[in-house]
Amino acid sequence: MIIDFHAHTFPEQLARRAIARLSDSAHIKNYSDGTLDGLRRSMHAAGIGHAVLLPVVTKPSQAEDINRLAEETNRRFRDTGILSFGGIHPDNDDYKDILRGLADRGIPGVKLHPVFQKTDFDDIRYLRIVDCASENGLVVLTHAGFDISFPGADHAAVPRIRSVLRQIRPDKLVLAHMGGWGCWQDAEELLADCSVYLDTAFSLDPLRSNTGRDTAAEHTSLSRERFLRMVRSFGADRILFGTDSPWTDAKEALELVRTSGLTSAELDAVLSGNAARLLGLFSAASH
Ligand SMILES: [Zn+2]
């Protein structure tokens, strides 16, 4: 069962507007309509059985609604195959209660986005959140590296991530976009000795996946050569397949990973085994 560890949807009534705004600011196109049904259709077309939703809290006041919606989404997991993380903002002073609440309600993890949340990842507020989330057994997934919508914003730059990992040791930290979107050389050099997970979302660019060492392309896509090297230096048991749906075509994203040169054992781990282990899925019920 293939698991997509990095997907987004928007509440039905906001989806159209949110998608238009985001695709406009990032100059990228959307491959589904941003609704839960749209995601299910694209999963079905790609042969993906499960997806993890990563909501982003851009204002502290949104955390409550977003986390309530995550809980509702997860109640239908058996029918939909879709599992939502919760969200939190660094300015949520009641972070301890929020994180405890997520764990109590069985929400498996929390998403952070230093660029959208305009806060450095090595800020004390994130350190506290990551530490407290880990104490509550939550997976923490953070955007890592640059963001296509905010060129040059370095809130989630690799040296900041490295600095956090020197101070605390979360056991289930996932760095999106292979450790640092647009700064994969830093990710490869500075993070391989840290026990972190990386997701593959929006990293392997279909147009540029064969360009090898092309330095211009290195800023916006990860070469196949570096991808393979990173999978092996971080360990195939630390890599999680993700689509970043609706911002990539799920089928194409899957095909890129499948044809990247990984062995079939590595593919099994990346496409489903690692995610199932991290999320505690299928441990008793599947066989
Ligand atoms: Zn994303």
DSSP 243-271: --BTSS-HHHHHHHHHTSS--HHHHHIII
Q: In angstroms, what is the span from residue 110 Cα to ligand 1's centroid?
A: 13
Residue 206's pLDDT band (cuts 50, 70, 90):
low
134-171 pLDDT, tens digit each: 999 999 999 999 988 888 999 999 999 999 999 999 99
| Omega cis (within 30) before 246 | yes
Structure tokens at 257: 């990973």
Distance CA 8, CA 39 (A): 8
CA of 7 to the centre of ligand 1 (A): 6
Q: Are 36 and 80 in contact (CB under 8 A)?
A: yes
Centroid of ligand 1 to alpha carbon of 102 (angstroms) = 20
Q: How far is the CA of 240 from the centre of ligand 1 (A)?
A: 13
Number of residues in the chain: 287
Domain regions of the chain by residue span: 3-279
Distances (CA, A) of 7 to 3, 31, 98, 122, 261: 10, 12, 22, 25, 24
Contact call for residues 125 and 90 (beta carbons, < 8 A): yes
Q: Are 256 and 209 in contact (CB under 8 A)?
A: yes
- Count CB-CB contacts under 10 A for residue 171: 10
Check: CB of residue 145 under 8 Å from CB of residue 179.
yes
Helix (H) or strand (E) holding 52: strand 50-53
| Dihedral of alpha carbons 114, 11, 27, 3, sign | positive
Under 8 Å between Cβ of 56 and 10: no
Whole-number Å distance, alpha carbon 8 to ligand 1 midpoint, is: 7
Q: Which residue has the tokens 């839960």?
A: 36
Strands 139-142 and 3-7: unpaired
User: Distance (Å, rounded) from C-alpha 170 to C-alpha 139?
Assistant: 9
Distance in angstroms (rounded) separating the CA atoms of residues 31 and 34:
8
244 Cα–ligand 1 center, Å: 5
Q: How far is the CA of 287 from the centre of ligand 1 (A)?
A: 32
**pLDDT tens-digit series, residues 110-133:** 999 999 999 999 999 999 999 999
Q: Are strands 109-112 and 139-142 parallel, antiparallel or unpaired?
A: parallel
Contact predicate 212/225, CB 8 Å: yes
Q: Kindly give the distance from the C-alpha atom of residue 56 to the centroid of ligand 1, in angstroms, as a whole number.
A: 9
- The per-residue pLDDT for range 65-85, each reduced to its tens digit, is 999 999 999 999 999 999 999
- 58 has a pLDDT exceeding 60: yes
Distance 284 CA to ligand 1 centre (A): 30
- Is the pLDDT at 204 greater than 50? The verdict is yes
CA of 188 to the centre of ligand 1 (A): 20
Interval between CA 200 and ligand 1 midpoint (Å)? 10
What is the fold, at CATH topology level, of the domain defined by 3-279? TIM Barrel (3.20.20)
For 217-255, write each residue's pLDDT tens digit: 445 789 999 999 999 999 999 999 999 999 989 999 999
